[in-house]
Structures are given as structure tokens and as C-alpha cells.
Amino acid sequence: MRERVWLQGCPDYGPVGLFERLDQAFEALGVYDSLKPGMTVVLKPNLIMASKPEEAVITHPALTAAVGKCVQKAGAKALIAESPGGPYTPALMKRHYAACGYQAMAEELGLALYTDCKSREVSLPQGERCRRASVIEPLLDAEYLINLPKLKTHGMVGYSGAVKNLFGAVPGLQKPELHCRFPEKEDFSHMLVDICAFLKPDLSVLDGIWAMEGNGPTGGSRREMGLLAASASPYALDLCGSALIGSGPERIAMLRLAGERGLGPGSLDEVELLGDPIEDYAAKDFLPAKASSTDFIDRLPAFLRPAAKKLATPYPKIDGKACVGCGRCAQSCPQHTIQITGGKARIDLKKCIRCFCCHEMCPKHVVKVRRLGIFDL
């Protein structure tokens, strides 16, 4: 049986149009049949950092609001829960919701925001790389879990969608620990699939009205794609999402690995598309992140591969003139390779594992992704 993905155009975040389309998605995918009166439904948006919705870094609060209205229509209760980068404390979480426009939205609609900031360490039975991890409590206790990713590029893994969004289940500063444990893209991608396979979201809804291209997930540019997509399968949804930006499992390791592990479809041929065709919205000129592209390395003589990999691997570079010395990069660095000296951040690249946590968490977007010589294109 093929996995179903619902896709439809949506030109803006107007509340009426959003609700009408998502109401159709809930009907088409049978979501209303699963929601019960009084049930607690956890909504997991992408709120990676404090950012205004128009910057296209976060899941737009209007989309989360429309999903919350659909949940309320079924008589269920919606609880919004997230763990962004940085310390995970109630006071900081409240400020984070407010900065992202979620506090005002939740108060207007009567949606609850999770701010207790509790987590539990759990075993991941299906884990192939990661066997244990800490996960924030609402996602563990959810009666129904709705994953709300943003359509974005990603400097390390190429694409940020439904699977990658569930990395936010890991509390605050424990994310850099996983970056440190799994510094290579393949192992890190395995870990992302391990977490997704454990959480098993009941529904994933992709915010593709405003996407991010270029140096995502936080330092890219807004791209108006004008679409929404949803599926019970996060892997099928990401296959469609990656196709929309001109990529696919041959470039996105976590999608390839999920297909190989039998968790999701291996290609679009195994997906049943409901609504509009992907071709109506696919962007052939979508700017990718400056990630490492090293497929050619395996074809080089063995003695040349270490040097070629070093040359082709991207690295973070701080714009010293623009850096304000806030320390968020140092705080998020799993290897503690960043120091604040003279009011500016400095990276010791000899110890850097290229996880790009600093790039993701810089509020001023002054940490750039660079490659050496001819590879920095």
C-alpha cells in the first residue's frame, strides 16, 4: 500500500484560507476519524530560535493556529510543545514563544503552550545508531502527535522537514551532545531516523508557504513557495518536500536510510499524491545550502581521499566585524571550541567537528558556511 501525501497550493497565511485547506487535509487523510473529544493532541512546530515569522526560520504561528482549530473542531485539546537550541528553562521558553508570535496566538485561540521543560531518558528499540536519548515529556505522553516542520534547506543534512524537525524533541543543550556523538553526516542522519522511528508522529504538516533557501536552517533567504503538504508518513512527506526543492533520497541521507530500513517509501513512485501535483510547485532554481558534496571522493585514489575530504568539507566562519559577542554560538558548541575574547567569538577549527550548531543558533546570522578554495562556490 502506497503512503498518501496531501498537497495543495496556499498563497498566504490568511487564517480563513489556511483553516479551509487544512480542514480538507484532515478529511482527506482520515485524521478526524482518529481524534476524539477530550484527547490531548501535541503540536510540535519548528521554533529553532527566536525569530519573526516573516524571516521564514520558524513554523509560522498562523499555520500552527489553523492546525489547532482543526484539533478543536474534533473536540480535542491542543498543546504546543518545542525545545529550541540553548538552555531549556521555563523562563526562556516563555520568552521564546513570545518572540516567535506564539504567545499571542495561543492566548487568542485558547491553545496551551508547554513551558514545564521536563524530559525523560528513553530507549530507542529501533535505533541503529542511537539507542538512548532524552526526549521532552509532552512528546512522550502525547495521545496524538502532529509534527509541523518548515520547508528549509539545511547546511549539514541538506534538507530540513518532517524527520529533521523531530530532533527538536531532544531538550536544549543535549542536542549538541548528539552532534558530538554523531559528527559525520551519515551517522547523524541515522540518528535522526532513529528518533523519528521512535516518536512515530501521527501526522506531519509541512509549512511551505514561505520556505527557506540557501544557508538554512536559520541563515538562508525566504522563498515564497505557496503550498501546504501533509501525510501520516514523515518520510513520504519529506520525499515530496525534497522534490519540491529539486533534491531527493540520492542527496538526502536520512530519506535514503529510511527507505533502506523499510520505514518509508524509497521513491516518489511509492507515494500516492492527493490534491495537486508536485510539478505545479517544484522550484528548479531553489538555492541549496552550502553543504559538503563529496561523492567524487570515493572515486579518487585512496591516498588522495583524506586531503580531498578536508578540502570539500564545509566549515563555520564568523564575521568578526558583525559579531556582537552574545555567546550563543559558544553555548551551543558541543566541543567547546568557541571562545568569546575581546567581545568577539573565535572558533578553533582544529577541534571543530563541523556540526554547524553555531551557524544554526547565531541570532545575528554572522556565522557563515565556507569551504576551501574551489569548493567554496
- For the residues of 77-119, what is the DSSP string, one character each? EEEE----SS---HHHHHHHHHHTTHHHHHHHHT-EE--S--E
Summarised one tens digit per residue, pLDDT across range 73-104 is: 999 999 999 999 888 999 999 999 999 999 99
Cα gap 362→377, rounded to integer Å: 22
Cα gap 291→312, rounded to integer Å: 9
* Range name among 1-5, 36-40, 100-104, 296-300 with the lowest pLDDT average: 296-300
pLDDT band at 375 (very low <50, low <70, confident <90, very high): very low
Residues for the chain: how many in total?
Answer: 377
| CA-closest candidate to residue 219, choices 368, 48, 45, 53 | 368
User: Residue 148: which H helix or E strand, with range?
Assistant: strand 144-148
- Domains 3-280 and 295-375 fall in the same CATH topology: no
Whether residue 374 has pLDDT greater than 80:
no
| CA-closest candidate to residue 148, choices 243, 239, 62 | 62
Whether residue 376 has pLDDT greater than 60:
no
Cα gap 300→374, rounded to integer Å: 17
Which distant-in-sequence residues (6+ apart) come within 8 Å of 204 by Cβ? 146, 147, 148, 149, 162, 165, 230, 231, 232, 233, 234, 237
Query: What fold, for 295-375?
Result: Alpha-Beta Plaits (3.30.70)
Cis peptide before 277 (omega within 30 of 0): no
pLDDT band at 357 (very low <50, low <70, confident <90, very high): confident
Average pLDDT, the chain: 91
Summarised one tens digit per residue, pLDDT across range 97-148 is: 999 999 999 999 999 999 999 999 999 999 999 999 999 999 999 999 999 9
Tell me the average pLDDT across 345-373: 83
Please give the model's pTM, rounded to 2 decimal places. 0.84
Strand residue runs (E) in 214-337: 221-231, 271-275, 315-318
Q: CB of 334 within 8 A of CB of 180?
A: yes
Greatest C-alpha distance within the chain? 64
What percentage of the chain carries pLDDT values higher than 70?
92
Tell me the average pLDDT across 250-258: 95
| DSSP class of 55 | G
Q: Give buried/exposed letters for 250-275 (b at 16+ CB in 10 A, else e).
A: ebbbbbbbbbeeebbbeebeebebbb
Query: What fold, for 3-280?
Result: Rossmann fold (3.40.50)
Summarised one tens digit per residue, pLDDT across range 22-41 is: 999 999 999 999 999 999 99
pLDDT for the residue numbered 346: 94
pLDDT for the residue numbered 85: 84
Cα gap 160→148, rounded to integer Å: 11
Q: CB of 323 within 8 A of CB of 345?
A: yes
Kindly state the cell numbers that stand for 276: 495537486
Residue with cell 503538504: 229
pLDDT for the residue numbered 371: 61
Cα gap 42→358, rounded to integer Å: 29
Tell me the average pLDDT across 251-278: 96
Domain boundaries, the chain: 3-280, 295-375
Tell me the average pLDDT across 64-71: 98
